Amino acid sequence: MKKMKLAVCGTANPHVRLYYGQFATADFIDLKAICDHDEKRLRDAQDFFKARNMPVKYYTDSNEMLQKHPEIDAVMVGSDNIHHCEHTLAVAEQGKHVFSMKVMSMDENECRTMIKACRQHKVILQIELELHFHPQILNLKKLIESGRLGKVHTMYISNISQSPICYYPNWGVPLLSYGKIVPIRPGEKVCRGGAITDHPHPFDLARWLNGAEFAKVYAVSARNMRDYLEVEDHAAINAEMTNGANVFINPSYAHLEERAVTRRLYWPKSLECMIKAVGTKGTYITDFWNKPHYMLGSGLQSPNRLLLGGGGGCPEFGESRLDSFYLAVTGQRKIESSGEDGLAAVRVMNAAYESIYSNKTVVF
Amino acid sequence: MSIIPEIKTVFMPPDDPRAAYKLRVFEALGMKCGDLPENPADCRGGLLELSSLSAFPANCAAMINEARAVLVAPELDGGIIAGLDIKNSNKLIPALPMRYWGMVESVSDFIKNKNGGDLVSFRIFMNLPEGRKGMFGDFSKSFLPQVIDIACLIASDKPDKIRLQFTPGFNCVFGIVQFPGNIIAELDVNECLSDSLEPVRFIHAYCKEGAISNLPFSGYTNVEGALLATAAGITRPVYEHNLWDGGDELDNFYFRMIYKIRNGESLSVPGVIYGRLVKAIAAAAGSGVAVLNGGAA
Closest by Cβ to A285, choosing from B166, B227, B243 = B227
Residue of A nearest to B206 (CA): A254
- Co-location of A145 and A110 in the same domain: no
The tens digit of pLDDT for each residue in B32-82 reads: 999 999 999 999 999 999 999 888 887 888 999 999 999 998 877 677 777
- Residue A135 pLDDT exceeds 60: yes
Confirm whether A169 is domain-assigned: yes
Closest by Cβ to A244, choosing from B168, B182, B230 = B168
- Residue A322 pLDDT exceeds 80: yes
pLDDT at A264 (0 to 100): 66
Confirm whether A321 is domain-assigned: no
Distance of CA A2 to the CA centre of its chain: 28
pLDDT at B96 (0 to 100): 92
CA dihedral A222, A228, A229, A232 (to 10 degrees): 10
Q: Residues in chain B, how many?
A: 297
Tell me the whole-structure pTM to 2 decimals: 0.89
Judge contact between B208 and B117, C-beta under 8 A: yes
* Better-predicted residue by pLDDT, A53 or B261: A53
- Residue B172 pLDDT exceeds 50: yes
pLDDT at B297 (0 to 100): 38
Tell me the domain boundaries of chain B: 9-95, 99-213, 228-262, 269-297
DSSP chain B: --SSPPP-EEE--TT-TTHHHHHHHHHHTT-EEEPPPSSGGGGTTSEEEETT-SS--TTHHHHHHHSSEEEE-TT--HHHHHTS--S-GGGEEE--GGGG-HHHHHHHHHHHTTBTBSEEEEEEEEEEEGGGTTTTSSIIIIIHHHHHHHHHHHHTS--SEEEEEEPTTSSEEEEEEEETTTEEEEEEEEEEE-TTSPPEEEEEEEETTEEEE---SSSSS-TTSEEEE-SS-EE---TT-TT----STTTHHHHHHHHHHHTT------HHHHHHHHHHHHHHHHHS-----SS--
The residue from A83, A112, A128 where one domain ends is A128
- Residue A314 pLDDT exceeds 60: no
The SS3 assignment for A30 reads: strand
Cβ distance A136 to B183 less than 8 Å, yes or no, reads no
The tens digit of pLDDT for each residue in B281-292 reads: 888 887 777 666
- Co-location of A80 and A179 in the same domain: no
Residues linked to residue B186 through DSSP beta bridges, in sequence order:
B123, B176
The tens digit of pLDDT for each residue in A12-28 reads: 999 999 999 999 999 99
pLDDT at B55 (0 to 100): 81
B-proximal residues of A, 34-93, CB under 8 Å: none
Q: What angle do CA B39, B43, B47 make, to 5 degrees?
A: 150
Cβ distance A256 to B209 less than 8 Å, yes or no, reads yes
CA dihedral A67, A69, A74, A78 (to 10 degrees): -70
Q: Which of A168-172, A320-324, A344-348 has the highest mean pLDDT?
A: A344-348
- If you classify domain B99-213 with CATH, what class do you get? alpha beta
In angstroms, rounded to a whole number, what is the distance separating the alpha carbons of residues A147 and A151? 7
Q: Is the bond into A348 cis (omega within 30 degrees of 0)?
A: no
Question: Which of A142, A225, A241, A280 should one mutate to test binding to chain B, selecting the residue with the greatest count of B CBs within 10 A?
Answer: A225
**Residue A100 touches chain B, beta carbons under 8 Å:** no
Confirm whether A230 is domain-assigned: yes
- Residue B227 pLDDT exceeds 70: yes
DSSP E strands in chain A: the ranges are 4-9, 29-35, 57-59, 74-77, 97-100, 125-127, 152-160, 214-220, 236-241, 246-252, 274-279, 283-287, 293-295, 307-309, 362-363
The residue from A128, A148, A176 where one domain ends is A128
CA distance A240 to chain B (A): 9
Confirm whether A329 is domain-assigned: no
- Residue A288 pLDDT exceeds 80: no
Judge contact between A157 and A275, C-beta under 8 A: yes
CA distance B221 to chain A (A): 7
Mean model confidence pLDDT for chain A = 92
- Residue B156 pLDDT exceeds 60: yes
Report the CATH number at residue A117: 3.40.50.720
pLDDT at B215 (0 to 100): 82
CA distance B297 to chain A (A): 24
Instruction: Of A306, A270, A44, give the one whose Cα is nearest residue A164.
Output: A270
- Co-location of A306 and A205 in the same domain: yes
The tens digit of pLDDT for each residue in A183-193 reads: 999 999 999 99
CA distance A139 to chain B (A): 5
Instruction: Of A236, A244, A232, A243, give the one whose Cα is nearest residue A202.
Output: A236
**Residue A176 touches chain B, beta carbons under 8 Å:** no
Judge contact between B192 and B163, C-beta under 8 A: no
Contacts of A287 in chain B (CB under 8 A): 220-221, 225
Report the CATH number at residue A292: 3.30.360.10
Helix, strand, coil % over all residues of chain A, rounded to 5? 35, 20, 45
Amino acid, single-letter form, for residue A342: G
Mean model confidence pLDDT for chain B = 87
Of A140-149, A262-271, A320-329, the range with the lowest mean pLDDT is A262-271
pLDDT (mean) for A62-68: 97
pLDDT at A267 (0 to 100): 61
Of A56-70, A307-321, B156-170, B218-232, the range with the lowest mean pLDDT is A307-321
- Co-location of A122 and A160 in the same domain: no
Of A175-179, A270-274, B238-242, the range with the lowest mean pLDDT is B238-242
**Residue A317 touches chain B, beta carbons under 8 Å:** no
* Better-predicted residue by pLDDT, A159 or A321: A159
Confirm whether A54 is domain-assigned: yes
- Residue A256 pLDDT exceeds 60: yes
**Residue A147 touches chain B, beta carbons under 8 Å:** no
Q: What Rg, from alpha-carbon coordinates, does chain A have?
A: 20
Q: How many CB atoms lie within 10 A of CB B294?
A: 7
The tens digit of pLDDT for each residue in B76-126 reads: 767 777 777 888 888 889 999 999 999 999 999 999 999 999 999 999 999
pLDDT (mean) for A49-75: 97
**Residue A189 touches chain B, beta carbons under 8 Å:** no
The tens digit of pLDDT for each residue in A205-223 reads: 999 999 999 999 999 999 9
pLDDT at B1 (0 to 100): 58
What strand order describes the sheet that includes B226-229? A362-363, A214-220, A236-241, A246-252, A152-160, A274-279, A283-287, B226-229, B234-235
- Co-location of A16 and A113 in the same domain: yes
Query: Residue A56: in which H helix or E strand, if any?
Result: none
Q: How many domains does chain A have?
A: 2
- Residue B293 pLDDT exceeds 80: no
The SS3 assignment for A107 reads: coil
The tens digit of pLDDT for each residue in A227-242 reads: 999 999 999 999 999 9
- Co-location of A145 and A294 in the same domain: yes
pLDDT (mean) for A49-66: 97
Amino acid, single-letter form, for residue A218: Y
Judge contact between A35 and A7, C-beta under 8 A: yes
pLDDT at B296 (0 to 100): 40
In angstroms, rounded to a whole number, what is the distance separating the alpha carbons of residues B47 and B91? 10
With bands split at pLDDT 50, 70 and 90, how would you rate the model's confidence at B248? confident
Judge contact between B167 and B161, C-beta under 8 A: no
* Better-predicted residue by pLDDT, A138 or B247: A138
Q: How many CB atoms lie within 10 A of CB B284?
A: 13
* Segments forming the whole domain that contains residue A113: 4-128
Confirm whether A323 is domain-assigned: no
- Residue A195 pLDDT exceeds 70: yes
- Residue A129 pLDDT exceeds 50: yes
pLDDT (mean) for A353-360: 97
The residue from A98, A128, A158 where one domain ends is A128
pLDDT (mean) for B142-155: 94
